[in-house]
A and B are shown apart, each in its own frame.
Chain A
Amino acid sequence: MAFEKDLNLDATELRLGLPGTSDESAKNQTPATLRSNNKRALPEESMSSNATASKNCDQETAPLPKAQVVGWPPIRSYRKNNLQPKKSEGEISGIYVKVSMDGAPYLRKIDLKVFKGYPELLKALEDMFKFKAGEYSEREGYNGSEFVPTYEDKDGDWMLVGDVPWEMFTNSCKKLRIMKGSEARGLGCVV
């Protein structure tokens, strides 16, 4: 091992980072991209990632937040919501909204934060409630479908899902309702 120092492998070693920076400072950059809000990770997966996270943790790296297992720790939602948010607000909490569908007596809840955009959200809704939303166009809303996804915004207005930019939607959506097509006419008719 002493040879390495003599050979000054550091200088020749290929690695990430600017020349002149050491490994230590590269490690200190919090791996923000590795933080994941994988609340719904399968328990086996999250347990093994817990194990690796604690093993790989050395003194310099910011420890990876433990993948959250649904149901653990056993604290009720209203208590979790009440806690003082620490450094990273909004990282732990999702945007949970209720989803109902006309004719189905069962409500679901989804976390809007796990979706990157409308296509993913619509696919998830279609899978959840077993319906097809049809083609969306700005002018005509959802074409060729019996059911239409709508949402109630902060002002209490019912809008067509997809009418506003995604960020605006996740910030203002209070609840989702998959309406019967006949009832949805008149919504989102802009032009």
Chain B
Amino acid sequence: MQKKTAYSFPEEILEHVFSFILSDKDRNAASVVCKSWYEIERWCRRKIFVGNCYAVSPTMVIRRFPDIRSIELKGKPHFADFNLVPDGWGGYVLPWISKMAGAYPWLEEIRLKRMVVTDESLELVAKSFTNLQVLVLFSCEGFSTDGLAAIAASCKNLRELDLRDSEVDDLSGHWLNHFPDTYTSLVSLNISCLGSDDVSFSALERLVGRCPNLRRLLLNREVPLDKIANLLSRAPQLIEFGTGTYAAELRSDVYSNLAEAFCNCKELKSLSGFWDAVPAYLPVIYSVCSRLTSLNLSYAPIQNPDLTKLVSQCPSLQRMLVLDYIEDSGLEVLASSCKDLQELRVFPSDPFGEEPNVSLTEKGLVAVSSGCPKLQSVLYFCRQMSNAALVTIAQNCPNFTRFRLCLLDPKIADYRTLQPLDVGFGAIVEHCKDLRRLSLSGLLTDCVFEYIGMHAKKLEMLSVAFAGESDLALHHVLSGCESLRKLEIMNCPFGDKALLANAAKLETMRSLWMSSCSVSLGACKMLGQKMPRLNIEVMDEKGPPDSRAESDPVDKLYIYRSVAGPRFDMPPFVWTMDEDFASELS
């Protein structure tokens, strides 16, 4: 009798089944079932996410996955956003583009975050990937409008070009002219980061006019208010729109044109931009407000009562970004009007001021937590907090997935009891069982870390600054947080003990960043010796580590797991503590 097993499924059927498996985790799980599944899976995987571009080499990726159509790469550590990573650290995309150019001629999507992208890279992209449909450069730098011109000229199938938060060298505004007249496929364009000379408005108008599928358009600050109406009238099908400068002298013709243009955008659901916004022109968007699910006013210096009045007209809001001009009173209105709110971000209008310039306290956040049952994601900058408020917030919102609280004075205590804020944050991790991301601030002892280690079992990313008293704190986190992937720490008194005791944990995480802590050079070298699959990178602008004592604390430490070994593109101020380094000096 012939033995038939599940493994005799024809490959085509397995491949077809796999085509329904989209998540990386599931694909990875399928690939380790057996050798034949591994083979079949790797040939039909189309999408790759590389959370750390140095964790694996492009050659390795290409060897395993021969036919990728979509790639996402991330480069610099998150703290690079706050100027903690010096220029020249790394994150260059060119080696990836060069290798992929030959291997993936059918590549359709490239998404990059915090990477250095040069014009040369963009030109190579334009030349090599004729089928490119999506190019997202999120917080990238190193390129100019020349690189963009190359993309515009060659990528006939481009649907999405998103430069969000990138730093672009302005050379000329004419790169938009490089989109040929026959090009009509644009669906999403985000040029909000571009400077003054970077966009030729007439080219933009023509481009918008000939792309009937354009759904998302985020303009840069320099586009004046009186040009918006014309632009919108060419694209009434927009779903998401970002204005330029939202200020001008009040003129009735401009006003009425704008109002009419917005009114005609029947599908508009998301608004942003509003740089320098003046209250006079706010009412032109009232016709859209009831439909808005996302509103980003975080660049608008609008204050109450205009700000609150606007917010009260948007009952469908799911996502709200705003400056602290909204104040507690405005947040109370938000809480009573916007029952679908899922995400709230409140940014400080005067982060370096000594005294509060607005009346935004913990009360605003408590109000929103109480009034908005679907609230899941919070980023809140304020100047005072209490444990009681945090406990209330935690009890109101057990569904939090992301909670980031930034008290502007980094070591400030509970303003009512003068106690540390341990209990408050402890309540957050205890009640919010699905919490994936947490940022701490305020006066915090080792206690809060004990709570985190005990309760935050789904936590994937933790950001800590000016907190804790001893290594025990770090030990609690590393030993308790089972799902931890990214840990970033600045200015905390954490040294060698916790790190060395939990060295194995580091291989289960994507990365660990520690700056201005007390980790010694000797500990870094030891980790480098003991853990070959970790890259231990020490950053110090004062000079090479070999000139200092073993017990000296390192300035910045970045540890990440990698199967690619140490990298070779490091600048003079980064040293990798691998086995060679350690033995050279001993």
Contact = CB atoms under 8 A, between A and B. Distances in A.
Interface of A: 42-43, 47, 63, 65-66, 68-80, 82-84, 86, 92, 98, 105-109, 130
B406 interface: yes
Given A70-B83, A130-B572, A86 B406 contact: no
B572 A86 contact: no
A76 B351 contact: no
A83 B463 CA distance: 24
| Residue of A63, A74, A76, A107 with most partner-chain B CB within 10 A | A74
Contacts of B354: 63, 65-66
B83 A75 contact: no
B135 interface: no
Contacts of A43: 490-491, 516
A78 B82 contact: no
A84 B349 contact: yes
Contacts of B572: 106, 130
Contacts of B140: none
Nearest to A54: B409
Contacts of A65: 352, 354
23 contacts: A43-B490, A47-B466, A47-B491, A65-B352, A66-B352, A69-B410, A71-B82, A71-B490, A72-B465, A73-B408, A74-B463, A76-B81, A83-B349, A83-B351, A84-B349, A86-B350, A86-B353, A92-B352, A106-B87, A107-B87, A108-B86, A108-B87, A130-B572
Nearest to A72: B410
A108 B87 CA distance: 5
Nearest to A79: B347
A74 B82 contact: yes
A66 B82 CA distance: 18
B88 interface: yes
Nearest to A130: B572
A74 to B, nearest CB: 5
Interface residues of B, number: 40
A92 B351 CA distance: 11
B165 A78 contact: yes
A21 to B, nearest CB: 26
Contacts of B86: 108-109
Interface in B329-382: 347-355, 381
A107 B83 CA distance: 14
Contacts of B569: 105
Majority SS of interface residues in chain A?
loop
B547 to A, nearest CB: 14
Contact of A73 (B349, B381, B515): B381
A76 B82 contact: yes
Contact of B347 (A72, A75, A86, A106): A75
Contacts of B298: 79
Majority SS of interface residues in chain B?
loop
B351 A84 contact: no
Contacts of B142: 107
B351 to A, nearest CB: 5
Contacts of A74: 81-82, 406, 439, 463, 465
A107 B348 CA distance: 30
Given A73-B406, A76-B81, A109 B515 contact: no
B80 to A, nearest CB: 10
Given A71-B83, A106-B87, 15 more contacts: A43-B516, A65-B354, A66-B354, A68-B352, A72-B466, A74-B439, A74-B465, A75-B347, A76-B165, A77-B83, A83-B351, A105-B569, A106-B571, A107-B87, A108-B86
A80 B439 CA distance: 20
Contact of B82 (A75, A86, A108, A130): A75
A54 to B, nearest CB: 9
| Residue of A66, A92, A106 with most partner-chain B CB within 10 A | A106
B465 A107 contact: no
B84 A70 contact: yes
B350 A83 contact: yes
Contacts of A66: 352, 354
A57 B491 CA distance: 25
| Residue of B79, B81, B82, B406 with most partner-chain A CB within 10 A | B82
A63 to B, nearest CB: 5
B515 A75 contact: no
Interface in B542-586: 569, 571-572
Interface in B267-287: 275
B490 A75 contact: no
